[in-house]
Amino acid sequence: MPTRHPSAPPSPDGHLLHPIVRKLSTYAHLDAGERAALAGLSAGGQRVEGRSDLLVEGAAPDCAVLVVEGIACRYRHRPNGARQITAYLLPGDLCDPDVVHLSRMTHSVGTIGPCRIVRIPREALADLTERHPGIARALRHAKLAEEETTREWVMNVGCRSAIERVSHLLCELHERLRIVGWATKAGYDLPLTQQDVADTTGLSNVHVNRVLRQLRLMRLVEVGGKRVDILDLPGLRAVAEFQPDYLRPTSAESIPG
Amino acid sequence: MPTRHPSAPPSPDGHLLHPIVRKLSTYAHLDAGERAALAGLSAGGQRVEGRSDLLVEGAAPDCAVLVVEGIACRYRHRPNGARQITAYLLPGDLCDPDVVHLSRMTHSVGTIGPCRIVRIPREALADLTERHPGIARALRHAKLAEEETTREWVMNVGCRSAIERVSHLLCELHERLRIVGWATKAGYDLPLTQQDVADTTGLSNVHVNRVLRQLRLMRLVEVGGKRVDILDLPGLRAVAEFQPDYLRPTSAESIPG
DNA sequence: CGTCCCGTTGAAGCGTGTCAAGGTCTGTGG
DNA sequence: CCACAGACCTTGACACGCTTCAACGGGACG
């Protein structure tokens, strides 16, 4: 049983109920006008079903994509059919406004579960960042965090064991969802299948299942029914060697411009 | 026996002998003034020995680092001593002017072999991009390519076999070095040890050795003596499923600004 | 009521890691 | 010129973490 209905606002604190406002506020100070502008973006939007593509490899996209609700991912298929997920897009994440300017996407972006998204035309985005330097600064910072996250993933699949990889993924999603108000200390809703976790961590779905069982037996975390219940956060982070630094850079203001 | 002495310029075509000029020119048109400005940057610089750190995890860097000659890498150590290399910095690569603005580096940057580098103060870099929009555009594009490269690495360690991973790495380095004039169709000089390759691909040094032997027996590539000799480029790329697209985005001009 | 997707579990095989020993090369100091 | 040390490469034997294959159960949905 989910703790909160997906369409209910995460919290009753005005603009902060919009995940992108919450997220960008952690990176740079936003004035009232900037918060309002972002909130305006998040309003409305388009409902998209789970397991559907938002941007496909090879296409020439003309819009950025803001995830307002739900979880999406960047992924690619190998010729042999194997899939690798290279990033998750959580509420408040803006699917790379720059990459989107490339004439050919080298990977696809698709939803995991049902999502609410906003497509933002290139010009509207440029206009927004020109008018609101705080937003521009925060977006640059968010992008840095995203790059660090990708490097962390290289670290994860490159030199950690199965249980460490899965734990690390669960910790990262927990931390990122907490920032935007979609997770509590106790856990979070997660629409991923075990196959998705496998395609993220470079493991087989069978082995992911075994690792999740082990984590449950270790009384660290229980994953099941589209829900993650965290029993022992310090313990889980210890197993994962999780250092949240890369998600929350310490000095947003040091980036000029 | 290296094909070219390291201190000799790659080619005699004026400014294009500077790797950063060659590289950025592939991403956006640069006018004469911009090429000259970049060439001015590359001149001189500082010699650094192999196996030394340029930026260390936890420090607060105040300069960007341009690699003019040699190879450096981003890396991190796990508490258990394991090392993961998350990126290589080749001649012409500018160590992320933005990440460098963070107050705390989450990873280190160190040289592989001897290098020639230029440290660029934050203000000088800002000045350069303000004065030369072409450079700014090209740098943005270079950064996109770098992000795509990191995602490709996630793909590599996440879902490819040992021989595929090593082949892919060799293909990527070949292509990137070719762009800046440090590789020919026949091969390139490479100061990496087998342990470095192992720390990059998530394999053990022993297994890297076996894979390299196999690639030699397959008559695809010979690696040894700090040199990579490519015997069958199409064959090697086929094994690696190497798609150079991610390094050379097709439409540089579509990025505004 | 059947179908399909997902989760679960067991058994067997294999790719890769680990351990260990020795070889080669290079630089260094006697 | 030789002896030695250290870093790197190479190879073999063995161990193990993970994959693969297969079968079954349960829940959602038409």
Residue A4: the pLDDT is: 42
pLDDT band of A104, cuts 50, 70, 90: confident
- Give the number of other CB atoms < 10 A from CB of residue A104: 14
CB A225 within 7 Å, strand C? no
Mean pLDDT taken over chain B? 90
Is residue B141 within 8 A of residue B255, CB to CB? The reply is: yes
pLDDT in tens, A33-55: 999 999 999 988 999 999 999 99
A180 CB less than 7 Å from any atom of strand C: no
Residue B109 contacts strand C, CB under 7 A: no
The letter for the amino acid at A175 is E
- Output the CA torsion sign for B53, B56, B57, B62: negative
CATH superfamily of A14-254: Jelly Rolls (2.60.120.10)
Q: CB distance B256–A201 less than 8 Å?
A: no
Residue among A78, A87, A126 whose CB faces B241 most closely = A78
pLDDT at A101: 65
Reference B65, options B46, B50, B83; nearest CA is B46
Nucleotide with minimal C1' distance from the CA of B202 is C16
DSSP B14-44: GGGGSHHHHHHHTTS---HHHHHHHHHHHSS
Compare CB distances from B251 to A103, A150, A155 and report the shortest one's residue: A103
- Strand D contacts in B 195-254 (CB under 7 A): 195, 205-206, 209-210, 212-213, 224
Kindly state the average pLDDT of the residues A164-174. 98
Is A254 a residue whose pLDDT tops 90? Answer: no
The per-residue pLDDT of chain A, averaged, comes to 90
- Length B50 CA → C30 C1' (Å): 28
The domain over range B16-254 is classified in CATH as 2.60.120.10: yes
User: Which residues from chain A sit within 8 angstroms of residue B86, using beta carbons?
Assistant: 151, 154-155
Condensed to tens digits (0 to 9), the pLDDT of residues A185-222 reads 999 999 999 999 999 999 999 999 999 999 999 999 99
pLDDT band at B61 (very low <50, low <70, confident <90, very high): confident
pLDDT of A98 reads 76
- Residue B166 φ then ψ, to 5°: -65, -45
Rounded distance between C-alpha atoms, residue B88 and residue B71, angstroms: 7
Give the DSSP per-residue string, A73-112: EEEEE-TTS-EEEEEEE-TT-EE-TTGGGSSS-SSEEEES
For residue A125, the distance in angstroms to the closest alpha carbon of chain B comes to: 12
Which of B159, B208, B254 has the most A C-beta neighbours within 10 Å, making it the best mutation to test the interface with A? B159
Q: How far is A168 from chain B (nearest CA, A)?
A: 13
Say if residue B249's pLDDT is above 70. Answer: no
B159:A256 CB<8 A: no
Report the pLDDT value the prediction gives residue A61, as an integer from 0 to 100.
Answer: 84
pLDDT at A16: 66
- Name the residue with higher pLDDT: A61 or A150: A150
Contact B126 A256 (CB under 8 A): yes
Closest by alpha carbon to B107, among B91, B123, B89? B89
Between A61-65, A151-155, B143-147, the lowest mean confidence (pLDDT) is in A61-65
B126/A155 Cβ within 8 A: no
Disruptive mutation site among A106, A161, A197 for chain B (greatest number of B CBs within 10 Å):
A106
Q: Which chain B residues 115-134 have CB under 7 A to strand D?
A: none
Over residues B170-183, the mean pLDDT reads: 97
Residue of A nearest to B85 (CA): A155
pLDDT at B251: 56
Give me the residues paired with residue A108 across strands: A75
Contact A155/B84 with Cβ under 8 angstroms? yes
Query: Would you say residue B125 has pLDDT above 70?
Result: yes
**What is the token pair recorded at B199?**
């720390």
- Using C1' positions and the CA of A159, the closest nucleotide is C17
First to last CA, chain A: 45
**∠ CA A200-A203-A209 to the nearest 5 degrees?**
100
Q: For chain B, give the number of residues.
A: 257
